[in-house]
Chains A and B, each alone.
Chain A
Amino acid sequence: MNLFTLFLSALLINNIILAKFIGICPFIGVSSKVEPAIGMGLAVIFVIFGASVLAWLLYKFVLVPLELEYMELICFILLIAAFVQFVEMFIKKTSPSLYQQLGIYLPLITTNCAVLYAAQNNISEGYNLIETMVNSLGIAGGFMLMLVIFATIRERLQGNNIPKAFQGNPIAFIIAAIMALAFSSLAGLV
């Protein structure tokens, strides 16, 4: 599988939200408006990419040589939590404008299972470092793409006359199901 195919596959075909159903909580929670959806999406791209690369390095250069592969899960959880703390502190010190846009979402990402999925997927598929980077960007890009599309649809829905029983989360889940059906048609693309 070449790098472009890998990226496209992670972005659209094996989309983390619509095909794997991972990261549903921020997908529903931060998608009521487009602006926070973009902020959350950018923060997720940054954290998934950095955490996946660090997790790959930890696995290949620490866990495998010490024959501690069974410690993968707990080590990755601790690594992701530490990385998010570091990123938040770094942004606070260096870029107040970036902190204003992303800072509020960084603590939420610590508990986002999409980050852990990306780190573990790269290991279980046996990707090298370059493939890990491309796959992580594809996964995170797919997350942001769906989040922004979904937020756009939900923003347009706000002015519509929706039956009371479907208002809020029910209509959001119906939209997500229709989006998943639409994107499942891309399954044979690669």
Chain B
Amino acid sequence: MSPLSIIVAVILVVGLFGINVWLYRANQATPVPEGCEDLTPQCATCGIVDCAIRSKQRKGEENGNR
């Protein structure tokens, strides 16, 4: 494997990662449409504990209990 090939591979991954970060930030900056602020996923049996939606739900439930 030539050094040039490795450099091209690194550039490709960094480029894709950069696009990802840019789109993520742009998505976060885009306001949620009216009436969609409190959407609930209704996926109570899902086992993914680190899911962003579920953790937001859990925090809300914890705050409600206090």
Q: Mark B48-63, 1 if CB is under 8 A from A, else 0.
A: 1001110000000000
B19 to chain A, nearest CB (A): 5
- How far is A140 from B52 in the complex, measured between Cα atoms in Å? 24
Size category of the B interface is 20 to 34
If A30-B46, A32-B44 touch, does A89 touch B26 (CB 8 Å cutoff)?
yes
Taking CB atoms, residues of chain B closer than 8 Å to A85 are: 20, 23-24, 26-27
- How far is A62 from B9 in the complex, measured between Cα atoms in Å? 11
- How far is A28 from B46 in the complex, measured between Cα atoms in Å? 7
Closest-by-CB residue of A relative to B2 is: A67
From B12, B33, B52, contact of A71 by CB (8 A): B12
Q: Mark A84-111, 1 if CB is under 8 A from B, else 0.
A: 0110110011001001100111011001
Taking CB atoms, residues of chain A closer than 8 Å to B5 are: 66-68
Query: Do A29 and B48 have beta carbons less than 8 Å apart?
Result: yes
Query: Do A26 and B46 have beta carbons less than 8 Å apart?
Result: yes
- How far is A79 from B20 in the complex, measured between Cα atoms in Å? 8
- How far is A172 from B23 in the complex, measured between Cα atoms in Å? 37
Query: Do B45 and A168 have beta carbons less than 8 Å apart?
Result: yes
From A71, A93, A172, contact of B13 by CB (8 A): A71
Query: Do A82 and B16 have beta carbons less than 8 Å apart?
Result: yes
Provide 18 A-B residue pairs closer than 8 Å at the C-beta atoms, listed in order of the A residue: A25-B46, A25-B47, A29-B48, A36-B42, A62-B12, A71-B12, A74-B13, A75-B13, A82-B23, A85-B26, A89-B23, A89-B30, A92-B31, A92-B32, A96-B34, A96-B36, A100-B36, A103-B32
